[in-house]
Structures are given as structure tokens and as C-alpha cells.
């Protein structure tokens, strides 16, 4: 769980809409006969768009998109859930072309209606899903749900996930919730390296073991640390007693020791010599207390070296992009009173 439900509260991120390039039509050969249909299998490649980007109406302001502000385009027909293009053009447009087809190389063609991920990157499970999809070239449409504005509680989002939690996935008419289920779905649908979720029985069991353990241990304690140190006093304006904070930090320290002794041990990664879903889920959890100002790696050199290996394995730029919001959590403005009233019951229940 993050802020509310499966993920934590998130710094507001802006919302916009992807404008996908329609499939190109068969071209004339000049002989009066059209070219034959492309062979079955991989979808045809869409040509680069010609001409300027569609411009937003004068009354719209184009908010920044993570990584490249030029990727934003406004579409008044998209309703309540604008989108942000997730890759540079025109390569991303080629990767997210419509149609069916088997995966090509490390990138796989999406389903006909496209893959949508409903995320907010202040949420630790949302960050894990985002990093995994981006690292493995999974084509998706990002639908940002601003948790700290209560958007997950809206009727619009309830049509996506009646539990009103993020992350959520839509693949055509299929909807999936819960971060671990989403990660496993992506490993099975797309052609990703085996080390993420190994085929070997015992290695896979070790990944499953960690994913089952972390829900009520590491995730809970990292989440409480963020809220007791930052979110309650800074965002909600609610004081936290020194005794409560000290107890929270003590529980976090004990959990980190279990992570180091029982799971990491003397291995390069939690399951073996290669990164897996276990490492990705763990490191995104640990960035919560880091975002709250806790120097959890300074006194744990083994854990610090592991974190550096995980960051190198996913790519430093992607790692920093995904954690930019959480690392600025202390700069959050106070919550609007009406939003605070709406969020408080769920936040208090989450802290139990």
C-alpha cells in the first residue's frame, strides 16, 4: 500500500493526454494498384508525424512532463484522465503503434486498446511499476492520479478501481489492481529478461517469499516513517509526538536488520547474482524514509552497496526520475482543508 490503499500519498503530478499516431494507410504504387497488405505478425510501422505539434488552446497551460516538457499535448476529448507520452518521438510512436503482434526484441507490441497505468510517483509501489515498465520497454500510457488532491476517491477513478487505490492497470477491457499482481502480469505478458522473475523453481520461490513478506513489514514501516516525519506535520499540519516517532524509527531499524540478515545476506541482490522484482520493490520502499530525511544507508554499508547496484542495474537516470517527487516530500505545501478532511479517515486507518 502506498499513501491511500496500495500506495502512499503522492506529490501532485500534472495530467495530460498522449496523442498517438494513427496507422498509416497502404500507399499507391503508381500503377493504379495499391501495395499488398503487410504480412501478418508485427504491426506496420507508423511514419513520423509531419508538421508542428498540436497546440493547446490559449486558455490551457501546458504543465511539465517528467523528462521532456515537449511531450505534452492537450486533447479536450479525453475527458477526466489526460495522459503524458512516455517516450521520445518518433521512436515512442513506432513502439506504441496500434495493432497486434508478438514482442520484437526487448519491446513488445501492446494490445489493440493499449496498456494504461494509473500511477502517482510519490507512491512506492507505483514507482516500482513505473521503473519496471520503463526499464523493459513496455509501451504504456501514463494516467496520473493525484493522491494528495484526493483524485483516487473520485467517482471517475472508482470506475477504474472500485477500491480507490493505485497503482492500477488497464489492458483493453481488462483491469488489474495491486502492485505485485501488476508486476507479475507485465513479466508474463511482455518479453522481459528472466532474472526479473526467474523460471527456475527455487529462485522464483525466493522472489515470491520476499514479495509476501514485505507487505506488512518493510512497506508498513517505511510508510509510517514518511508520514510521521513529514506528511503529518508538514502536509496535514498534525503534530507527531517524539515518543511515536521514536517507536516508528525503532521498528524501521529492526526491519532493515531483517532485510539485511535474512534476505540480502552476502549476495549481490536479494535473490542471487542478478536484480529481480524483489530488489525493485525493496528499493522503492526504502526511498520513502530517505525522502523523509532518514540516512538509513549511512550506518549500513552492505545495504548501501546493494542500493547502488540496484540503481546501476535499472539505470541511474531512470532511478532518479522515478524518485524525484519523493526526494522533495519535505517541500510539499500544506493540504487544502477540504482535501485534508477527505483524506484523514483513510490516512488514520492506514497508520493502524
Closest CA to 213 of 275, 268, 281, 265: 281
What percentage of the chain reaches a pLDDT higher than 90?
Answer: 65
Query: Do 178 and 126 meet the contact criterion of CB atoms below 8 Å apart?
Result: no
What CA dihedral angle connects 86, 66, 56 and 161, to 10 degrees?
70
* pLDDT given at position 86: 45
The residues with which 84 forms a beta bridge, in sequence order, are 142
* pLDDT given at position 124: 96
Say which range, 15-29, 47-61, 271-285, 290-304, has the weakest mean pLDDT: 15-29
Q: What is the pTM of this model?
A: 0.70
* pLDDT given at position 336: 92
d(CA 77, CA 65): 20
Please, which residues have CB within 8 angstroms of residue 351's CB and are 6 or more apart in sequence?
Answer: 224, 227
* pLDDT given at position 6: 52
The number of beta carbons lying within 10 Å of the beta carbon of residue 121 is 25
Reply yes or no on whether the pLDDT at 39 is more than 80: no
Q: Which residue is associated with the grid cell 552492505?
A: 302
Alpha helices (runs of H) in 108-234, residue ranges in sequence order: 124-135, 155-158, 179-189, 201-214, 218-226
Model pLDDT for residues 244-299, shown as the tens digit of each residue? 999 999 999 999 999 999 999 999 999 999 999 999 999 999 999 999 999 999 99
The mean pLDDT of the chain is 78
Amino acid at each position: 500500500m502506498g499513501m491511500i490503499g496500495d500506495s502512499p500519498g503522492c506529490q501532485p503530478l500534472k495530467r495530460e493526454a498522449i496523442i498517438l499516431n494513427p496507422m498509416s494507410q497502404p500507399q499507391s504504387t503508381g500503377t493504379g494498384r495499391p501495395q499488398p497488405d503487410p504480412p501478418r505478425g508485427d504491426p506496420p510501422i507508423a511514419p513520423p508525424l509531419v508538421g508542428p505539434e498540436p497546440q493547446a488552446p490559449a486558455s490551457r497551460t501546458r504543465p511539465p512532463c517528467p523528462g521532456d516538457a515537449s511531450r505534452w499535448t492537450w486533447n479536450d476529448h479525453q475527458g477526466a484522465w489526460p495522459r503524458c507520452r512516455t517516450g521520445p518521438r518518433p521512436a515512442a510512436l513506432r513502439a506504441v503503434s496500434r495493432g497486434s503482434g508478438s514482442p520484437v526484441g526487448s519491446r513488445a507490441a501492446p494490445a489493440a486498446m493499449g496498456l494504461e497505468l494509473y500511477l502517482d510517483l510519490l507512491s512506492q509501489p507505483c514507482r516500482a511499476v513505473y521503473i519496471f515498465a520503463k526499464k523493459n520497454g513496455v509501451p504504456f500510457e501514463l494516467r496520473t492520479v493525484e493522491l494528495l488532491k484526493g483524485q483516487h476517491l473520485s467517482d471517475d477513478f472508482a470506475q477504474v478501481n472500485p477500491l480507490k487505490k493505485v497503482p492500477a492497470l488497464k489492458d483493453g477491457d481488462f483491469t488489474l489492481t495491486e502492485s505485485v499482481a501488476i508486476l507479475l502480469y507485465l513479466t508474463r505478458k511482455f518479453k522481459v529478461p528472466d532474472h526479473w522473475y526467474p523460471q527456475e523453481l527455487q529462485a522464483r520461490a525466493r522472489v515470491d517469499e520476499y514479495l509476501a513478506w514485505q507487505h506488512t513489514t518493510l512497506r508498513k514501516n517505511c510508510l509510517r516513517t514518511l508520514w510521521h516525519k513529514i506528511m503529518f506535520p508538514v502536509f496535514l499540519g498534525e503534530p507527531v509526538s517524539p515518543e511515536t516517532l521514536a517507536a516508528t524509527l525503532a521498528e524501521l531499524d529492526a526491519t532493515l536488520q531483517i532485510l539485511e540478515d535474512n534476505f540480502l545476506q552476502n549476495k549481490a541482490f536479494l535473490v542471487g547474482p542478478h536484480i529481480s522484482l524483489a530488489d525493485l520493490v525493496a528499493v522503492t520502499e526504502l526511498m520513502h524514509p530517505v525522502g523523509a530525511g532518514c540516512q538509513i544507508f549511512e550506518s549500513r554499508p552492505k545495504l548501501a552497496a546493494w542500493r547502488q547496484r540496484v540503481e546501476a542495474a535499472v539505470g541511474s537516470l531512470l532511478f532518479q526520475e522515478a524518485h524525484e517527487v519523493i526526494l522533495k516530500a519535505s517541500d510539499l505545501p500544506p493540504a487544502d482543508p477540504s482535501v485534508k478532511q477527505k483524506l484523514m479517515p483513510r490516512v488514520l486507518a492506514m497508520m493502524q
